[in-house]
Amino acid sequence: MKNVGDLMQRLQKMMPAHIKPAFKTGEELLAWQKEQGAIRSAALERENRAMKMQRTFNRSGIRPLHQNCSFENYRVECEGQMNALSKARQYVEEFDGNIASFIFSGKPGTGKNHLAAAICNELLLRGKSVLII
d(CA 16, CA 12): 8
Task: Please write the tens of the pLDDT for every residue from 94-130.
Answer: 988 876 677 888 888 889 999 999 999 999 888 888 8
The CA-based dihedral angle spanning residues 92, 113, 102, 94, taken in that order and rounded to the nearest 10 degrees: 10
pLDDT exceeds cutoff 90 at 74: yes
Task: Please write the tens of the pLDDT for every residue from 84-104.
Answer: 999 999 999 998 887 667 788
Q: Which helix (H) or strand (E) holds 41?
A: helix 26-59
Specify whether the backbone of 101 is left (phi greater than 0), alpha (psi in -120 to 50) or beta.
Answer: beta
User: Structural domain boundaries of the chain?
Assistant: 1-59, 61-133
Q: What residues contact residue 92 under an 8 Å CB cut-off, 6+ apart? A: 119, 122, 123
pLDDT exceeds cutoff 60 at 1: no
Task: Please write the tens of the pLDDT for every residue from 13-52.
Answer: 888 888 887 887 878 888 999 999 999 999 999 999 888 8
